[in-house]
Amino acid sequence: MLGQGGEIDPESLPEFSLPESILDQLFEFTGSSDANKGFVLIYTDQNGRPMVYSRSDAQIVEMGLRKAMEKYLINVEDAEGILDLRDEDEGEERLD
């Protein structure tokens, strides 16, 4: 893991995964009873790949979380669309 000069070599780090104990704690912090506990966690790993963890006690909670994610993504896409329209209206050149 350490390269020459005692520096950390990021290429030799082991593959990271979230410890189950952290996911257990996160789950325990959600909801107010066993019937409504649940979470969805989305992040990128050290290689830039998207990772998704999901846990819930009840199917209705899972469905609610999925609906919340759907609404969030729609709102983000709508906001990006508004920004694109503003760029075009102002005649600004986009760099992406």
d(CA 11, CA 31): 39
Identify the CA nearest to 41 among candidates 75, 15, 82, 30. Answer: 30
Over 60: is that where the pLDDT of 19 sits?
yes
- φ/ψ (deg, to 5) at 2: -90, 130
pLDDT of residue 79: 85
Structure tokens that stand for 39 in this block: 């979470």
Over 80: is that where the pLDDT of 23 sits?
yes
pLDDT tens digits for 49-88? 899 999 999 999 999 999 999 999 999 988 888 766 666 6
pTM over 0.95: no
Q: Average pLDDT over the chain, rounded to whole?
A: 83
pLDDT of residue 47: 83
d(CA 86, CA 93): 11
Burial class for 36, CB neighbours closer than 10 Å (0-12, 13-18, 19+): middle
